[in-house]
Chains A and B, each alone.
Chain A
């Protein structure tokens, strides 16, 4: 399966600042990557689909101006949480692979204080 590296694994930031999370596909050229948000002991909530070289597709209710996604190459997608607030604190996970199987990054625990 694909190897997916997500960085950082955890970050603490002050309210009002921005945080960038990177998702790298180490051995697979990914034209599409997916970003999820997850609350403790709950399932994954798809936020957006990141498309290489074009705009991301956001799920209903997800603010595209707050969660900026850039997919400039086949191996890297970034999620930037802008003007973060405590309610943005969560576990963010990226995924590579479409069709029948999915491979996930290790996740990023964001805590906004």
Chain B
């Protein structure tokens, strides 16, 4: 059973389009992180959200944490080829902060 469902798994879009990646769970998370990974490199932390309903923006990226802290989304506006990569969500389940739970990842390709 996957504790953190991430969708879509693969996404190929044209430059300039918008997209949203979702991470959903039946568990409550004390915090949730989004990472971006390029081929041959380790994941790089983009943002951490900790408060239900929280919205954070990082240039063209908007991150939202659900009110109940069970889900999160990443929205990219006007995607660019440089956004291509693997996006991963990961969270700490409330009451069990020792183990990071990972989504399966979203492989994004932005075509020029």
Chain A interface (Cβ < 8 Å from any Cβ of B): 1, 4, 6, 9-10, 34, 41-44, 46, 91, 93, 95, 98-107, 109
Q: Which of B6, B48, B98, B99 contacts A101 (CB 8 A)?
A: B48
Is B102 an interface residue, CB under 8 A from the partner?
A: yes
Residue from A41, A91, A98, A105 in contact with B107 in the complex, judged by beta carbons closer than 8 Å? A41
B88 at the interface (CB under 8 A from A): yes
The smallest C-beta distance from A91 to any residue of chain B, in angstroms, reads 8
Contacting residues, chain B, for A6 (C-beta < 8 A)? 42
A-B contact count (CB 8 A): 58
A34 to chain B, nearest CB (A): 8
Inter-chain contact B48/A100, CB cutoff 8 Å:
yes
Beyond A41-B105, A100-B33, A100-B50, whether A106 also contacts B41 by CB under 8 A is yes
Add 12 more A-B contacts to A44-B102, A93-B43 (CB < 8 A): A10-B40, A41-B10, A43-B103, A44-B88, A46-B99, A46-B102, A100-B30, A100-B31, A101-B48, A102-B33, A102-B45, A109-B40
CA distance A107 to B45 in the complex (A): 15
Q: Bound state CA distance, A99 and B30, in angstroms?
A: 10
Complex formed: what's the CA distance from A107 to B43 in Å? 9
Question: How many B residues touch the partner, as a band?
Answer: 20 to 34
- 28 residue pairs of the A-B complex, CB under 8 angstroms, read A1-B45, A34-B100, A41-B86, A43-B6, A43-B104, A44-B43, A44-B102, A91-B40, A93-B42, A93-B43, A98-B98, A99-B97, A100-B30, A100-B31, A100-B33, A100-B48, A101-B33, A101-B48, A102-B43, A102-B45, A102-B90, A102-B100, A104-B44, A105-B42, A106-B41, A107-B40, A107-B41, A107-B42
Cβ of A104 to closest chain B Cβ, rounded Å: 3
In the assembled complex, which residues on chain A have CB atoms less than 8 Å from the CB atom of B88? 43-44
Any A CB within 8 A of the CB of B93:
no
Separation in Å of the A98 CB from the closest CB of chain B? 7
